Structure formats: structure tokens, C-alpha cells
Structure 1
Amino acid sequence: MTFIGHKREGLKMFKLYGAHILCLLLLLQQVDCQANDKVQIDGPLENKDFFVKEGSQGGMMLYRFIFQPPVVSLRLTGDTDGIIEIVSDGVLYLNKALDWETKKVHKLQLEGLNASGQKVQGPYFINIYVEDINDNPPTFEKNNYTGTVRQNSRPGKPFMYIKAIDLDDPNTLNGQLSYRLRNHFPNPFQEMLFQVDNVTGAISTTKAGHQYLDPAQEREYVLDVEVYDMAGQSINAFSASTDVRVTVLENLWKSPGLVKIKENSTEPHPISIAQVQWNYPGAYYEISSKETPSVKLPFMVDNNGTIYVTEPLDREKKESYSFYVYAKEEGISLSYPVTVNVTVEDINDNPPVCNKALTKFEVQENEVAGNYIGTFQASDADKEGTINSRLHYDIVYQNPKIPVDKLFRIDFGTGNINILQSALNRQEASNYSLKVEVTDQVFKTVCDVLINVIDINDQIPIFEKSDYGDVTLPEDRRVGTVILEIQATDGDEPFTGSSQIIYTVTNGDPNNTFSIRTDPKTNRGYVTINKVLDFETTPMYYLDIGATNPEPLVLGTQYNSSSFTKLRVAVTDVDEVPVFLQKTYTVEMLENVTFGTFVMKARAYDPEGAQIKYSLKNNNRNWLRIDPLSGSIYTAALMDRETESPYVVQIVATEQTRASKSSMAQLTLNLKDVNDNPPQLEKDSVFFCHPLQGNQKAKIDVHDPDIYSYIPKFSYVLLGDNTVQNNWNVSKDGLHAYISPKNINLEEKDYDIPIKINDNGRPPMEGVVYLKVKVCRCVEGRCFIPTDPSPFPTVATAIGILVAVLIVIGVILGIVFLRLKRKSQSQQISTKANPASPAELQSLT
């Protein structure tokens, strides 16, 4: 019995310690797994949530609940499913793997029991959330897919869909699918003709497919499509594939071809003229003009794609139309529009029109029979080059009929007019009126033609003088001055090319110094100075002048001495101003050239040969000097481009005669920049709002007077004592420099901060600037400046001023009354001493 008792006690102790050993092993396993993550693995009895990945290995410890008496054991109830257990030592563990697809949440209750097995704590609610892992591959809903697509379908518009499913959690990458088109067969262009949307599985054509798909070339394609889970972003993703067979159908969406419509149709409108059709049902259609700006179209399209003309058309207003037709669905165009071209066909609905109300021709009275006079022109608004616009001409009337009727002939087809007989005589008939009948196939029009018989040029111009003598002119006489009037006459018909006179200097003026203008009404000639006279070059001109007509003389008539005259022009000397070889000079120089540097040489001469002396005018800065004899110009001072550029002066050339005449030329000196100026402050002050908040900075605005300054290359150094260095910081960020406070406890006042700025030029220039930094109270982001005292006095001040004024007035009045009183007393004393006469007293009363 003792042995048996010891055996039972041993089994009891084994069970007790065995449980402790299991807990310890699980605890060690969990500690080993989670030690690096620093996850708390034990704690008191309380509500608890756990997140466990599905497929986790059996024997996994979740948590160890610590309890105190009177609790001696724990009881677990709920969705344990034989997987979740707790041992008496409080260790919650899994004895096999969880499955997300079977159950996503296990809801449990935990109770603390005393030694009698009664609940003394709880229940506590324990939720174990199962987290999905990627343990299910995607599968397509169909083993094979079939679809059709129309030729020239819009790229990117789906014509079919494929779909796959995945049992994993769709809210994670595990259940997110991505579709890919691996290839298609055949692939004749080595370019993908189809594409699949990686999210929706929509299949559409690419731009290449829109262009190349043609059922006449290849009618069927097999698309190798695959799907990946984990959104196709992991090498461990599962995949599946399927075949999609696509049949290419002929494109129905095409232009209807050229549409022809007879103009001015009398049929009831609208009239059907063409038909378009989208590849799939359900579309509606719209038309729009191709012209810019858009015009109202006399066409419409219905929901069946039938195109109508809505009104009669007039070819003479518009002979062709071109517009777009769109196929749309829910306001979106389904493809590119098709173009509809309409030609308006002509009918003979316009009569001939005379191009001019009166057509005029000229013919000389000695014109030879058969000669061409001119072409009469009419027009027809019907289509050019058709029988509707072909015109015929006929002369149906001539007035006067002298010397005979039908003196003229017009070509039936071209309208060319010729003279039939050499019988014209201007003295008998100076013009002829013709009626020309113009006809097309339907209409006729009569037009008026006037033929003027013009005089022949059988008279020559004759000068009134054969010699106009001498004319004397000073050489400074202005160009354009008339120096003489001449006159010739012509016996031909006035105001015609036969009688008009043209005057020409035929000899003695090789440089065209003179010109002659003719008055068209009187044929009077005006001899005019055409170029500047120069005594030194040509002191005397011997001119031969001829008079001619613009019309050629008739055969047998020639110009003779009567049509020529002579004129002599003497030019007298005038003292002229010096002449510069150039009126303007432009020179470029560096601004830092040394004194005495040669700039340029001015050159002038005096027409009379006098000596020239040079000087400068408007040399306001005295930067230049000129050699008075040679005209050479040199620098005379240090120049500065930033002060003035360009520097413009006048060069004066003065003849060394009693008259001392002079002339000027202009010198423009363009100074080229050198780096000779240090950077400067654009704004000499910035401010920060008090109290300082930290992370504040203000931009330092700088500029450099030099033209080639490049602010991004500037460097900045903060100067000053330790106080400045400890309180402020200067930094550079890209293009600009900034100042910022290091010490946020700066008091409210103005600070002068010295900064050295270097422009890093060639040569480098640097300077020290003082930036005034205000630390101030701010109102609406600006420094608050106390308002000056009001210019108007307060009430108390006003009362004080008023009292003071009254006191002053009282003192003045007191002084006045005191003086009047003393004056009165003085007069009384004077009266007693010197009594007035009775007459004086009477006059006073």
C-alpha cells in the first residue's frame, strides 16, 4: 500500500511538474522568438487581442497570464475549435495552425477559478485575429475567352474583359491581382497590337493595333494573358494564365465618300445624302465644321447615322463643304471623327455680267486694217471651265456708222476686237459706241464699249527760245530750287501722249545735277537743282535741253533743232563749312584704360582749303582731350562706365579764317565694363518680430553696379565681435544670402551687423556693408511704429491755452487803461496851468 501510495503521489507530482515544464518550454520558445522584438509575453488577467498569421506552427505560445490567489486555475471557453488551449499555469498556446480562409477571428472568454473550481475573476474577452498569408494562387473564371474587335477601334477602349479570382484577403497584396499580356500570336509587326489593363482586366487595342489590325491580312489572334497575385510586385507571387481568342472584324466607321449635290434644289428638305455607322450599337452622332472659325452647316445627322442636307445650296456662294461626324457615347467620342466631303454641282443659273459698265479702248486714226485693238471681258458666276460659264460675243450695234458700218469685229469665243478697215478719221468721228451681246447656253446680256480714236503724233515740240542765256547761282543754293522756266509747244491733240512734252538735259550734265519737271496742264518746264552745287568741282555748266513726246512720232516725222535749246549755268564760290569724312564715330574701350590712351582720329577738310582746328564740345566730365591740329583724341581722366555709358561728345572742326565757320561730328564712346565695384546692399535694413520664435531668416538683397556681376557667385562673411558672432548667422541658399538670429532672447532694438561680401570676379572685389536689423514688435507681420502725438491739442491743453490767452489780453488791456488814465491826469494838470481862451473852449464844445 505504501508503494502504491508513493506511486500515486509520484504521478501527481509528475503531472504538476510536467505542466510547469511544458509552460517553461513554451515560454522559452516564445522568448527566443520574440526577445529581439521586445514584445511583452506575460501580464495580468485582462481583455486581450492577439494577431496571428495563419499557418503558424503548432505548439506556439501566445501569452502567459499571471494570476494571484484566490485564483488557482484558469478556464478558456469560446471558439477554441480544438486549436487554442490554456494550461493551468496560465500559458495560452496553439496546438496547430490557424486558417484565415476557415475562420478570421476566434472569440474566447477567460475566467479565473478558485480551488473549488468556482469563478472568482472574469470573464475576460480574448480575441485572436487570424492574419492572411499568400497561400492561394489566382484562377481565371474561364479556361478560354473569346472576343471580337473592329478594325481601327479607338486605342485604349475596352472591347472585352477577363477576370480571375483569389481566395486570399482582398484587402492585402495577397488578394490583389495584376493582369499582363505576355504575347499574342501571330505578331507580324514585332509590336504589341493589344493591351490589357493590369487592374480591371480590360482588353483593348494599342495605337499600333488601331493602325495595323486588318481582317484582310490577319483575322484571328491568340492572346497569352497571365495574372499575378500580390499585385505582381513580388517574386514569390502566384500566377495563372489563359488564352484569349480575338477575331478582327471589318471597320464600319468610315467616310461615306464624296457626296455630290445639285445646287438650288427644289425638292422638299431635309434630303438624305449619306450614311455613317459605328461599329457597335448604342452610339449617337454629331457633326461639326472643319473650318476655322466654325461656320453654321446646312447639314444634320440623326441617331441612325443618316446625314441630311437641310436647305438648298448655292454653288456661287460656296462650292464645297467638309465637316466631321463623331460617334459618341455618354458625351465621349468613341473614335476619331470621319470626314464628309460635299461638292455642290453647278447648274446654269447665272447670266453673263459685263466686267465694266463701260469698257474703253483707244485706236490711232492711222491704224492698219486687221490690227488688234483690245479684248472685251465679261464673266459668268457659274462654274469656271464648264459649258454653263462658256460665253460667246457679238457686236450688234455701232454708232456712228461712218464712214461705214461694221468697222470693228469681235471674236465669237475670245472677245478680241480688231479693226476691219483703215478708214478712221478723227476729224470725222472721235469715238465709236458699240453694243456687244454676250450669251451663255441660257442667258444673254448686252454690254457697252467705247472706242476712242486718238490723234497720231505727227507734230514735234518747238521751243519758244533757242537759247535761254546765262544763269548765275551761288554754290550753296538749296537742292530743289527752280532756277529757270522754259516753254515748248506741240500742235497735236492736247492732253494726249502725242502732245505731252518731256524735257531732258541731253548734254553738259553728266552727274544729273539738274532736273526738269513738266506741268502736265501747260507743258511748261521747270529747271531745278537736283544735287548740291560745288564751285570747286564744277564752276560752269553748258546745258543742251531737248523736248520730246512719250508717244513715238509717226513714220516720216523727226525731231529737229526746233526741239532743242541751250542754257548756261555759272556757279559762284561761297565760303563753306568744314566737311567731316564721317558724321558719326563709335568706339569701344575698357573703362579702366590709362590716361593718354589713344581713342580715335577725326578727319575733316575745308572745301576752300583753309586749315582746320579741332575741339571737343559737351565733354562734360573732361574724360577726353583732342589734339587741335591732328584731330587725334586721347583719354584725359579715369573713366567710369557705371557713372556714364555711353559717353557722347561732339567733335568741332573750325576753319582758320576770319569767318571761322565750323561743323560738328558725334563721337559715341561705349565703355566696356571691368570688375571695379564691390557688391552693395539693395536694401539696408531687415526686421524680425519680437519675441523671436526661432527658425526665422531674412533675405539680404544685394546688387553690383558692374554689368557682369553674377550674384549666385557672391560669398558672405559675418564680421564683428563675439557678441555679433554669437547672436547672428549669415548663410547662403542657392541664389540668395540670408541672415538669421542664433539667440532667440535678443532684446527689442536695432542692430548694425557688419558683413563682408566678395563678388569672386576677375579681379575679385569685396566690401564691408552694415545691415541694420530691427528686432521689433509686429502688427500684421510688420514692424509696429508708435504713432506721433496728435497735432490737435487735447481738451485740457486747449483750456490752458485759452486761459493763457485771456490773461495776456487782460494784461494788455490793463496797460492800455493805465496809460489812458495817466494821460488824462496829465492833460488836467496842463489845463490848470494854461487855461484855454473862450474861443478855444467854444470850439471844443
Structure 2
Amino acid sequence: MLCLFIMVFCFSSATCSELLSRHRRSWVIDSFTIEEEHPGPFPYVLGKINIERDYRVMFDLYGEGVEKEPKGVFTIDKDSGTLYAHRAVDYEKNKLLQLKFEAVKTDLSIDTKLGVEIAILDINDNPPRFQKDLFEISVDEDITQGSHIQTMVADDRDKRGTPNSTFHYEIKSVSPSRPGTEFTIDSHSGTISFKGCLDHELAEMFTVVVEAKDHGDVVSLSSSSTVIIHIQDGNNHLPTFSGQTGSGKVKEDETGTSPLRLHTTDKDTPNSPAWRAKYTIHGDEGAHFKIETDPDTNDGILTVVKSLDFEEEALRELTISVENEAPYFSCEVKEKTPSGLWKVDTSKGDDPPLDTLKVIIEVQDVNDPPVFSVSVKEVVLEENAPIGTWLEKITALDPDSGQARAFVYKVGSDPAGWVTVDPHTGDITTAGTPDRESPHVSDGVYTILLHAVDDGEPPMTGTATLNIHVTDHNDNVPQLTVGFVDVCVSDGPSSTKITAFDLDDTPFGGPFTFELLGDVKGKWKLNPSYGYTAGLVKEPGVYSGPHTIDVKISDMQGQFAVYNLSVTVCHCSERPNCRGPRSTATTAAPEALAIVFASLLLIMCLLLMAVIMTCRKEFKPFHPSGTSGETFLPSNIENPGTDCKVPDNVLVGFIENSIDQSNWGGQHDGIKHNNFSKEMEQYFIYNHFRDHRREDMFHLHYNRNQATLRSLVANGHHQTHLREEMDTMNFHATLHAVLHQQLFSLQKKEGDLLEYEPQVYADEGDSDVLSELEIISLPDKDSYQKALNDLGPKFKQLASICKPPKIKN
């Protein structure tokens, strides 16, 4: 029980002690003040924190000014609680410092905690500062007094609302000093303006020093800034004429010349809008002149832009004024009042009195060209009028004297050579027969140009126009537009159109009357037969081919002409028109001609090869193995000998060396042959060389005959065996087959042949007249040897030289 009482007592005592301790720590925060920039000496006592205790406590201080920035400013005596300041502080950096105070018991327990505030007292240590130390601006010379020029702005870092941070503006100096100009500044806003007038010619620049000064109680601080004001030149001086240069003379009818150059002076800045001059011409009726400003000298250059007339006015008087590009202004101080703006006299934008100058331009007389009394004349002339018909008379006057002179009249332009003009009287007569259908007549009007030439220095020429209206006569007959037409073959009537025209105009032209002449009944008729186009109708009985029809065409006055109209009747389903093949042959002619020349060149090469190949020592055929349907040509590359005699078969080498593998179906009776017989060779040569008239046929058939020979040799026929079988071969049947094949090939390539006129043997339907055809004959075997004899002695001599030696078995 005693222990329980002791525990309750101790617990109650501890609780009461703790409650009393928390009550003592809830004191109001202490505050101190310190003046910024305190001069010392340091350290000095700032104050003391008093805590009454029956027991001993120690004091500690933390926060701004101790271990936080600004560090090292304050300390506290641990025993007495006295605060010390060790250095000066800046109000502009720290206006209030907040610290923490602690009282600690001997057992290191915290007895008391409280906050401490130290206020910094401001002093006037900052002058007002401008944004820049130098300002540079430009203003126009014509700006009016009181206008805003520049606003100065300054700032003071001292405490707001105190005399230390309150300041005003004032102008300390102005350079240069001019009596007609005074600069002012608003002390509160810092706005700079001026009184009076600005004059660029008196002062191009002003330097103004502005000061800002605060209202500190102990000391007043200030700073200054400089403002440079450039005065831009305005047009406050008018230009004046200072002289002129030039002849002042101009020839009549002359443009682009400059008779005068005017000079001016101006006190404003050169090459500025206030200096550059503008000139104006007064009294220039007809706008004959212009004046421009020389950009370098500012002179006025007077130029003639429209020709002058001496006879109209020999002297031209002009008035020229000058001003500047920039508008003129003026400013003059009348009174300097003690307050407010001064009294000044200004004029801006008003029309100032401009400087003017009168100039005289002398127009010099020159020889003017003659002037016709009427520049364009119209006359009427009948077509086919006789030569010498009088048309018109032309006259001209001299503008220099206003009277007629002895001019020479000429024809300037007469495309068809129809007229002539009397050089002295100006009478115009016809020199040719006028034709209304001439290509030089347009819409029935023929135009000529006439000239009148005076005897002045230099001679001048006047021009007039004469329009001749040519009346039409019926001197042209109707004409066909085209002289040939095509008509299609059909079971019923078919038609085409015939169109005519007449060079004459109405009523001597169309519509026309068409009429068919001759025996056309049942064959041809017209429907319609009147108008500008008639319909030609073919009856079913008219056969295909060319036809000629006589057509009579009459105009409205009965003038007519008869024409032979070529009509071609054809099957239109086969070709687009009846003249298609003719056009195709013409197109293919160059290609066919090229084939002919290529064939001739190939024949010459093969003949040369035949002669060379016969002059070999040994004739051995080459039989390749392992071929796939292809055969190599026999070849011998030995040099020919010199002991050759006339060979029994001269052309064997030619035949063998002029052929290669070809598939012609070279089999006869199921046996393959290697070479031709001698008679076959002679027959081949004979058929292609015996007659020069068949040279063209040779070019067409040569390649195919060569293919036939190549096929026989390539299929393994020997010469001896070939001779035996060719004797029994039906040679005529073979030749017929070859000719039939060639004919079939020509029919397929009909469009590629050269154009030629076919031989007409009989007209269609005319069975009474028989024409004899050419006889086609084939030579017999006896003529083979004749073919060789026809080759002549020169060929035999060549063969004797190139004969290969006989090989003995």
C-alpha cells in the first residue's frame, strides 16, 4: 500500500511538472531591430532574452543570420542570453531575419523554445537608377512643340513608400543651347518635350542630361542619364531656280530631244526628300513636253515628247515651277511665355509660294512632206475594163506654204500592176486588165498606195490610199472540185457526189446545172442534177474498172464547160477506195528497189567465189558428223595451182559454193542426191544469163532457185549419181512447180511491188478482139552447150588458167 501511494505521488508530481513546463514555452515571440549598413564597431549588443528560472539553463540560437544565410551575423551568450551583431546587413537583400531560441536544462532537456524575429531598418543607401546610361533617338524637324520625344524611367531599391525611394526627374544640361529651342521634362513621369522650333540647319543634334534624385532625410542620392536627340531634316527651305543651259531650240517633227536644262538650289540636306526637286510645266497645250529630275544634280531636264509644228507656232512659251518631294513647313518663335508653351507661327501642309521660271522654245522649220487633200479615196472599176480607163485624179498641198507645188506623183504599191499615174497631173488610169478573181483582190476591193514627192532638202514624200471596188463580170465557167470519183460495186444502184465551183460571184456563179453527155442510158444518171453538188448514180450493169463520163456544168447565166470525169468502179469491201493499191505500191517502191540492188551485189560475190573455188588442187567434200539437221558447206583452203587447163565442168565450184543448207523437199523417187548433172547446171545458167531482157526476172527468182540447188546438194546427192537421175527426171514438171511457187509468192507480196502499168490485152466484155500473148518457151537440151559457147573466149581463157589438175586413181 505504501508503494502504491509513492507511485501515485510520483506520477502526479511528474504530470504537474510537465504541464507547467509546456505552459512556460508558449511565450510570445520576441523581436529586435537592426539598422542596415551599421558602421560598428563590432560586435555590439543587439539585445537580451530574459527567462527567470530558479534553476540554471543554457541558451542556444539557430536560423537566418547564424548557420543560414547571411551566416555569422548573430551570436548569443549561452549563460546570459545576450544577442550580439558581428557585421552589417543589407536591407535590399534581407528585410527580416527569422531565428529560433532554445533554453536547455543541465540534464540537456529543453526548457523553453521560442521564435525570434530581427527586422532590418532601411537607410538611404541606393540612388535612383535609369534603365540605360545613354539613349539615342531621332525626331523630325517639323515636329510641333509640346510633342513627346522620350520618356525616362528610373528605379530606387530602397524601401517603398519612404523618402529614401521617392525621387523626381530634372534636366541638368542641354547642348548646344539655342534660343529658339528649350527642352523640358515632367518631374514625375520623366517625359521629355520641347518648346519653340527645331531647326536642322541650326542644330543637327542635341545632348540632354537628365537626373533622377531621391528625397532621403539624412542624405539625398541621385543618378543621371544622357539623351542624344538627332534632328531629321525637314523641308523648311523651298528650292529656287539658279539658271538654265541649252539651246532652247527644237526642230519641228522631232521628238526625244532636250532643248533646256534648269538648275535649282536648296538649303535642305542633299539627296533627302526635302532636297529633291519636282518640276511642273504650265501652259503646254497639246502636251508636247515633259520635264524630269536628274537624280544626281537635281536639275530639271526638259524633253520634247510630241512633235511641234513650225507653221502652227514658231515660238512656244512655257512656265515651269519647282517644289520638293517632302511637304513644306515653317516654324518661327513669336513670344516666349513664362509658363506653358511658347507662341510660334507654323505652316505645315499649306501651299507655299513656289519659285517659277518662264522659258521660250524656238521651233525650227523643216521640210514637211506633201499632204493629200484626201488621204483615202474610193473608186469603182468594172472587171476586164480596157487599158487606159481613167480612174481618179489626186492632188497634194505643201504644208510649209499651204499651197500646191510641182510635186511628182508615183505609184507606191500596186501588187498586180493595174494602174499608172501621171507624175505631173496626178491622173490615175489603168495599165492592166482588172480581174476580180485576182488573189490581190480582197472582198472585191483592190488597194494601191500613191506617193507625192516634193523637191525640198531632203525630199519628202506624202502617201494616199486608193481603194478600187472591182465589179464582177461572168468571165469564168464552172469548174469541178476534183476530176475523179470512186463508185462501189453493188447489186443495186450506187452513187457518189460531184462538186463544182465558180470564181465569179452571184449572180454569175452557182447554183449549177449538171448534165451527162454521151451514151449513158442504163449506165449512169444524175440525182440531183442542180445545186453546188450533184449525185452521180451507177446502174447495176456497169462493170468494175475505169470509166470516163462527159459532164456539162452550167452557171446561172448559162455559161458552161464540159469535163471528162474519171470514174473508177471497184469492190469497196476489199479496199477503202479504188486507188488503194496504187498508193501502196508507191510506198513499197524504195524497199523493192533495195532488194534488187542487194540481189545484184550477192550474184557478183557468188560468181567471184565460183571462179576461185574451181582453182583448187583437190576436191574433197567435208562430211560432218553429229549434226542436228544442219549441213556444212564443202570447203578447200589450198592455194590454187598454176598448171590448170580447161575443165570439163567449169561451174561445179560455182554451184557448190553458192548454196547452203535449205529445205526444199529435195527428194525424187525416195532417193537423196548430192549434186546436179552437167546438163542441169548448163540449163540453170542458160535460163538466167542468156537474155538481158529477163534480168529483172532473174533478180526476183534468184534466191529461190539458189535454195532449190542448195537443198539437192545438202541432202547427199553425188555428182555422178545426180547426172544419171536428172536425165530421167521430169524436168518440165519440176520447173512448172518452181514457177508456180514463185507466182504464189508474188501474189502474196503484191502490195510491196513497184508500181507499173499493166499490159492490157482486152477490155472486160469485149470477146471479139483477141490479143496475142507472149510465147513462153523452154530451151531443149541441145541448147545447153550453146549457152556455154555464148559466154565468149575470155571466159574459156579464164577457165583454162583455173582448171584443177586431174587426179589419178
The two structures share one fold, judged by TM-score above 0.5 = no
TM category, shorter: 0.3 to 0.5
Specify which structure has the higher proportion of strand: 1
User: Does 1 or 2 have the higher relative contact order (CA < 8 Å, sep 6+)?
Assistant: 2
Specify which structure has the higher proportion of helix: 2
Q: TM-score, normalised by structure 2?
A: 0.39
Question: Which of the two has higher C-alpha Rg?
Answer: 2
Q: TM-score, normalised by structure 1?
A: 0.37
